[in-house]
Amino acid sequence: MIVYKTGKDLDLDADLDALIAVYRSCTLGERRPIHDRARMRAMIEGSHIVVTAWDRGRTVGIARSISDFVYCTYLSDLAVDARYQRRGIGRELVRRTKALGGRAAVLLFAAPQAVEYYPHIGFTAGSGWMLREDEHVR
């Protein structure tokens, strides 16, 4: 039975490696600084909304978002351990994120392997743009 927890009251001294393992087990780990523990910790601590999924004390999923709670919630990470995918865990993490975000719309950039997933759970496409860490405003 999957248990969901909300909030950043994680013990990151104890849970950070387990959270990083979730990222590593799915394709999102390829696009996150999983080898930089300090940066991963700061990403979680700097988030406004964190929802995690647990199976018998083992972390199996995380949704991490930044929000103003009235207009926009940016779902920066949705990661579910590859062994637990296709069980509705991602959908539930998104549902709880939306509920915690108040009236805000939930926005995201899909990982290439997840592009087909988001319309399946109710997202509609728009236009989005990105300026990556190593890119500059011209």
The strand order across the sheet containing 58-67 reads 2-6, 49-55, 58-67, 72-80, 105-107
Residue environment code for 36-68, b if the CB has 16+ CB neighbours within 10 A, otherwise e: eeeebbebbeebebbbbbbbeeebbbbbbbebe
68-115 pLDDT, tens per residue?
999 999 999 999 999 999 999 999 999 999 999 999 999 998 888 888
State yes or no: pLDDT of 13 exceeds 80. Answer: no
Amino acid 20: pLDDT = 93
State how far the Cα of 82 lies from the Cα of 86, in Å rounded to an integer.
9
CA of residue 44 relative to chain centroid, distance: 10
Residue environment code for 97-112, b if the CB has 16+ CB neighbours within 10 A, otherwise e: bbebbeebebebebbe
pTM over 0.85: yes
Per the CB < 8 A criterion, the answer to whether 61 and 93 are in contact is yes
Q: Which CATH architecture has domain 2-120?
A: 3-Layer(aba) Sandwich (3.40)
If pLDDT is split at 50, 70 and 90, which confidence band does 133 have? confident
Mean per-residue pLDDT, 40-65 = 94
**Which helix (H) or strand (E) is 59 found in, with range?**
strand 58-67
State yes or no: pLDDT of 60 exceeds 90. Answer: yes
Report the chain's terminal Cα–Cα distance, integer Å.
Answer: 50
Structure tokens given for 29: 């780990």
